[in-house]
Structure 1
């Protein structure tokens, strides 16, 4: 008999990815809804089905085509120390944030991630001294040291995003925990395809163009009652 199953990820690498994807990581991801809270107010996200569709669309149309693609390209660049490439990817993220809140999020989460990295990687302080990293670039640094493939690291990145956004939906709509688990299950089923698409994208194919999401994010800045920072 032959065994066609893929080789198991080493335990240390798997645990590192679980750690990096955890909402408990002290980088503030839980405090952002990425436009979802504004969507509840102005786009009719009032029940589980609507929110589930919204998050699935955001996964494929926004995350996969931008931050996931950047992380997938940054991981091999970190492994070979290609700083010009990393600076270019980092600049692209900052230049393509479509609202002040989205820019704040990637700046703050990147800065907090770098502070966490300094506790676990002796060279992080030196590496990031002249690179104010956005979140995907900082995540890619940690992922590049885990021994995992870029695909596995991007799966962890996307699942961490999904957990944060589902958590935001459960609080803000509000929804019950069972609804949250159903939504998370749907996103988990769709994440592999989103990651597989993201890792095929070249520089000319990446994009950050979600105009309705950007409008809702901008409106969130003056939303009367809100729980989240975006």
Structure 2
């Protein structure tokens, strides 16, 4: 892929606004259009709807806010941050350590499948668009699979994103994906979905701050694990988790 250089775009006022390549690459990574299959997972939300714990906009927001605080801020985002640092340092052993932790702490077969499948798809994306990324061989060497948060943190570093914006973008990508899952499975209207996303966006800065201050990731969300396991035998399903 050709290197994108910093350019200036003329506005209607005649002023030139610089376009930052790192920001554009970060928006690209956080986009739902990234071909990693995130849209096919509800991460336990569909099972919560089936159990009657989520039955409308307010309860969907409460569920996802709890998931943001208990899972994203304490487990997923700290791994993204640590993988970002390890990728910049080309620290293969640290990437392997983080990867093993993610795969060992997935509580259900569906959540493990999600981590592996999305991580694998992101590697394919990187191989096609940034085949010369120095961290790519280290990610490809991870066994038995490269986990999604590890691959995402490393990809953001390889694309030139700074740490805090990278973690914030990953959090927003998660929030937007789960909002869209709620619209489909609760179900909610599009306007309600945007109000739900607004609640999540308001809480993201604190989740990012918590993640960046965490000495190590912590995996403990028993209710989510229980409903994630129940989803595996749920009779009618739209999502893979």
Report the TM-score, using the length of structure 2 for normalisation: 0.88
Task: Report whether the alignment pairs 1:135 with 2:144.
Answer: no
Displacement of 1:196 after TM fit? 0.6
Query: 1:148 deviation in Å?
Result: 2.2
1:202 corresponds to 2:238 = no
Written as runs of structure 1 = structure 2, the 5 A alignment for 1:158-177 is: 158-177=171-190
| Corresponding residue of 2:66 | 57
Residue 39 of structure 1 corresponds to: 48
Do structure 1's residue 149 and structure 2's residue 162 form an aligned pair? yes
1:19-98 paired onto structure 2 within 5 Å: 19-98=28-107
Q: How far off is 1:98 after superposition?
A: 1.0
Q: Does 1:218 align with 2:229?
A: yes
Q: Which runs of 4+ in 1 moved over 4 A?
A: none
Q: Is the 8 A contact 1:9 1:148 kept in 2?
A: no
Do the aligned partners of residues 10 and 96 (structure 1) sit closer, same or farther apart at CA in structure 2, a change above 3 Å counting? farther
CA positional deviation for 1:25: 0.5
Displacement after TM superposition at 1:127 (Å): 3.2
Deviation string 1:127-169 (CA, Å, 9 cap, x unpaired) is 3332131001111121102322211000000100011100000
Q: 1 CA distance for matches of 2:186 and 2:146?
A: 32
Instruction: Pick closer, same or farther for the CA change 1:228–1:59 going to 2, 3 Å.
Output: same
Q: Any gaps of 5 or more consecutive residues in structure 1?
A: 1-7
What is the CA–CA distance in structure 2 between the aligned matches of 1:85 and 1:216, rounded to whole Å?
31
CA drift of 1:10 comes to 6.3
Greater CA radius of gyration, 1 or 2?
Answer: 2
TM-score (ref. length: structure 1): 0.92
Match of 1:118 in 2: 127
Q: Is the 8 A contact 2:54 2:186 kept in 1?
A: yes
For 2:198, the equivalent position in structure 1 comes to 185
Query: In structure 2, what is the equivalent of residue 229 of structure 1?
Result: 240
Native 8 Å contact 1:113 1:138 kept in 2: yes
Q: Greater relative contact order (Cα 8 A, min sep 6): structure 1 or 2?
A: 1
